[in-house]
Structure 1
């Protein structure tokens, strides 16, 4: 089994969920994440929506996307990142799951509200709005992690 850094584990899973698990020799988990990502991606038509979004054709992206399938995506995607991170982190590290969990929550909410949200007269759509919702998820997750860790050290 290959040992990798936390950053490397997260970056491989950003590239494709399951890659860091495969590289670390966790083949069953790695294959499961790859298959889940593929099934969700194909059934939600996510790649087509990404293409339309980057071409500025947000309405087409909204037309092709299957929200029911895509709502699974943030949780599996971020859990895959967390699992890779967890496999590479020191055993005594506490609360590092919080940024991943809050990102999954916020990205899912961003996806759900994406048909209705316009920011400064720009409609970000089902790809870019969830990406923007990643930011408050990270901030809140790291803030709560900091609070819990500080409370732990003051006792």
Structure 2
């Protein structure tokens, strides 16, 4: 029923970037208003309870100890899953909308390895960042002592590994 209303092309990249900005924005771009509002409420709740924005602010100010002490880790590790799932869902929904407009059925999902790796890597980086605290004040290594920066760094590293593995599996199975 929802597909009949949508009559215009939706850019998967735009949908992903809208959800990158704030979970739920990509769903609103794809005209999934209820789901978009749910994602926004979930994001705001997790973000507020975990004090993630305060940790991000302290990380950018260079006070990594304060960034470490301020974050509520029990809630902070939920944020990557909400963020990445929102991006994945918006991206794949835009693909589905476009396939429907072309009269095709889309049953292939994209970016599974990338966003799964990103989620897992960010959780790993957030949870284990204190293992990267250097004894000297070498700035590049010191960045990894922040839960935010280590989460993003390890998240991106595992995202590209996940994407590589997904591409290998798809090529092996003749999907790509």
- Taking structure 2 as the reference length, what is the TM-score of the superposition? 0.81
- Which of 123, 129, 142 in structure 1 is aligned with 2:163? 142
Answer with 144-153 or 114-123: which moved more.
Answer: 114-123
State the 1:95 CA deviation.
Answer: 5.1
- Which of 73, 76, 96 in structure 2 is aligned with 1:67? 73
Alignment of 1:103 onto 2:109? no
Answer with 90-99 or 124-133: which moved more.
Answer: 90-99
State the 1:99 CA deviation.
Answer: 0.9
Matched-pair contact (CA < 8 Å) for 1:95–1:145: no
Alignment of 1:22 onto 2:28? yes
Q: What runs of 5+ residues in structure 2 fail to find an aligned partner?
A: 1-5, 100-105
State the 1:3 CA deviation.
Answer: 3.8
In 2, the alpha carbon distance for the partners of 1:43 and 1:28 equals 23
CA offset digits 1:75-123 (Å, max 9, x no partner): 1110000000110125254553121111111110111101221366525
State the 1:148 CA deviation.
Answer: 1.2
In 2, the alpha carbon distance for the partners of 1:96 and 1:51 equals 29
- Which of 11, 16, 31 in structure 1 is aligned with 2:17? 11
Return the index of the structure with the highest Cα Rg. 2
Displacement over 2 Å in runs of 4+: 92-96, 118-121
Aligned residues: 154
